[in-house]
Amino acid sequence: MTPIALTIAGSDSGGGAGIQADLKTFSALGVYGASVVTALTAQNTKGVSAIHDVPAQFVAAQMDAVFSDLDVGAVKIGMVSQRVVIEAIAAGLERWRQDKIVLDPVMIAASGDKLLAADAIETLKRALIPRALVLTPNLPEAAALLDAPIARNESEMREQGERLLALGPRAVLVKGGHGSGAESVDLLIEPSAVVRLAADRIATENTHGTGCTLSSAIAAGLAKGLGLTEAVGAAKTYVTEALAAANRIKIGSGHGPTHHFHAWW
Catalytic residue among 212, 221, 236, 258: 212
DSSP state of 258: P
Catalytic residue among 45, 207, 213, 258: 207
Catalytic residue among 7, 41, 45, 210: 210
54, 112, 121, 122 from 147: Cα distances, Å: 28, 18, 11, 11
Active site residue 92: no
Alpha helices in the chain (DSSP H): 18-28, 56-67, 83-95, 121-123, 139-146, 154-165, 210-223, 228-244
Catalytic residue among 24, 76, 100, 175: 175
Nearest to 203 by CA among 243, 154, 170, 145: 243
Active site residue 256: no
SS3 letters for 122-176? HHHHHHHHHHCCEECCEHHHHHHHHCCCCCCCHHHHHHHHHHHHCCCCCCEEEEC
Catalytic residue among 209, 221, 233, 256: 209
Active site residue 211: yes
On whether the CB atoms of residues 185 and 198 are closer than 8 A, the answer is yes
Active site residue 209: yes
Nearest to 217 by CA among 37, 68, 70, 30: 30
Strand partners, 44: 47
Residue 71 CA to residue 155 CA, distance in Å, equals 40
Active site residue 38: no
Query: How many alpha carbons lie under 13 Å from residue 246 in its C-beta half-sphere?
Result: 23
- Active-site residues: which are they? 175, 207, 209-212
